[in-house]
Homo-oligomer: A and B are copies of this chain.
Amino acid sequence: MVGIKDIAREAGTSVSTISNVLNGKKNVSEATRERVLNICRELSYYPSVTGRALKVGNNNTIMFNFSDFDRSFYLKIMKGISDYVNDNDFDLIICTNKSGEKYMRNNLSRGCIILDKMMKDNVLLSVANPNYPIVVLDRMLDHRCIKSVVVNNYDPMKEMVHGLVQRGYRKFGFLGGPEYTTDNKERYEAFKDALEEDKIPFRQKFYFKGDYKEKSGYSAAKIMVSTQMMPEILVCANDNMAIGAIKAFNSYGLNVPADIAITGFDDCDLAGAMGLTTISIPNYERGFMAARYLIENIRGEMNTEPFMIPAKIKWRSSVLEFKSKKI
């Protein structure tokens, strides 16, 4: 590996001069600057991030941590982050589950965006400090150096359920995601509250449990069919499970929405193609805003008011416009 010393030797100067050139310090003659730069190019020298980070204590890198590879819209979040970060001359490293913590504790990054549910709250609370701000997606954390960027799950979900009631649906089923996740909790709360406001009873036996993956939706739907526990409308906590459920119902010869209506949450690519009624989250913007707040906070702003992203209902063909009332 070619280092600063090699350049210095070749240029016949000291290492500090090289460093000065590289860091755009003004105390170096135009001649030397030129010469040094040329040599760097010739020897294809790249300053060592580790050497620099070790000395300086930081660099312009932020980290993004995620782990659920089944949620394909994560790519959109990444793109949002990546675009903002690039425009602001920061570098981005993305890492998954366990490595994340390791890279936070060091001076490899100056801040991070966390989407990984596996990352524990108390770790984040203990790591965050004025020199290492954090942005968390989809969770609320109260700390003066942590900004929460959360989707407004509650309002659109409630509105959608009211809309379903208006369309004539009465017998509701709910297919939930992992129960420790905030978004699942909020979606379920909104669902229950809406029914309560509309004075529609909801029985616990119509609550089914999934894990946000397509397979779990498939299994849950099969159970509904085989145990004859069919609701008129199955509200799912995300699209993947809704899609799994649709496939399962279809495999039994059941038609969506004629035999059973279904809704999702996320508006993934497939949802559009399959005509799934769902709630659309602006993912690119979500990533972009997260990166923006993080970098602003790194630069000293330290604005940590929770930021709420609006989501929008997409009515599609998986629910009927007017469900004919029974009898």
Contact = CB atoms under 8 A, between A and B. Distances in A.
A146 to B, nearest CB: 17
Nearest to A284: B69
A118 B148 CA distance: 34
Contact of A86 (B53, B54, B98): B98
A107 B72 contact: no
Interface string A295-320: 00000000000000000000000000
- The interface centre, meaning the residue of A1, A96, A102, A105 with most chain B CB atoms within 10 A of its CB, is A96
B91 A50 contact: no
B91 A93 contact: no
Contacts of A126: 44
Nearest to A214: B269
- The interface centre, meaning the residue of A53, A97, A98 with most chain B CB atoms within 10 A of its CB, is A53
A91 B69 CA distance: 17
A25 B102 CA distance: 21
B46 A106 contact: yes
A75 B72 CA distance: 7
Given A69-B76, A72-B72, A270-B270, A102 B44 contact: no
Interface in A74-130: 74-76, 78-79, 82, 86, 91-99, 101-103, 105-108, 126
B99 A103 contact: no
A31 interface: no
A110 to B, nearest CB: 13
Given A51-B54, A95-B92, A107-B48, A78 B72 contact: no
A225 interface: no
Nearest to A77: B69
Interface residues of A, number: 40
A278 to B, nearest CB: 14
Contact of A93 (B86, B99, B105): B99
A218 B327 CA distance: 47
A49 interface: yes
Contacts of A96: 78, 82, 92, 94
Contact of A54 (B46, B54, B97): B54
A90 to B, nearest CB: 9
Contacts of A107: 1, 48, 50
Nearest to A101: B46
A50 B106 contact: yes
B274 A49 contact: no
Interface of A: 1, 44, 46, 48-51, 53-54, 61, 69, 72, 74-76, 78-79, 82, 86, 91-99, 101-103, 105-108, 126, 269-270, 273-274
Top 10 A-B pairs, shortest CB-CB distance: A46-B105, A69-B79, A94-B94, A91-B99, A273-B273, A50-B53, A50-B50, A50-B54, A72-B72, A49-B106
19 contacts: A44-B126, A46-B101, A46-B102, A46-B106, A48-B54, A49-B102, A49-B103, A49-B106, A49-B108, A50-B53, A50-B54, A69-B76, A69-B82, A72-B75, A72-B269, A92-B99, A93-B99, A270-B270, A270-B273
